[in-house]
Amino acid sequence: MALVTFELIDGLIALLLPSGKATFNAAAAQGDKTDRSIMAYIRGSYGSERDGVRTRVQSKREGATVSALRARYRAEDGADSGVRRGQGAPARAAVR
């Protein structure tokens, strides 16, 4: 249940904060605010490996990836407001 809660909170953070200002899964980052960017979050990045020459970020989704979020709020008076955001992450090569 806690995992679902953190994913919901991270989704709301992505929707409500400007790009570059969001800190995802802050509890797991242990004070490191540079832990995950929105691209790393979309890709499901979880670590890196080095082969002696290159460092490669390990991710659950390596190819081109698209993620979309939408939130809707309805006030007691019936007024609706909403926010949505889409983000694409192109396929990438290893980082040198």
pLDDT band at residue 35, thresholds of 50, 70 and 90? low
* Residue 79: Cβ-neighbour burial (10 angstroms; 0-12, 13-18, 19+): exposed
Query: 93 vs 59, which has greater pLDDT?
Result: 59
**In 3D, which of 22, 19, 11 has the Cα closest to residue 70?**
11
Q: What percentage of the chain has pLDDT greater than the value 70?
A: 75
pLDDT of residue 20 exceeding 80, the answer is: no
pLDDT computed for residue 96 by the predictor: 38
Q: What are the boundaries of each domain within the chain?
A: 2-89
pLDDT of residue 25 exceeding 80, the answer is: no
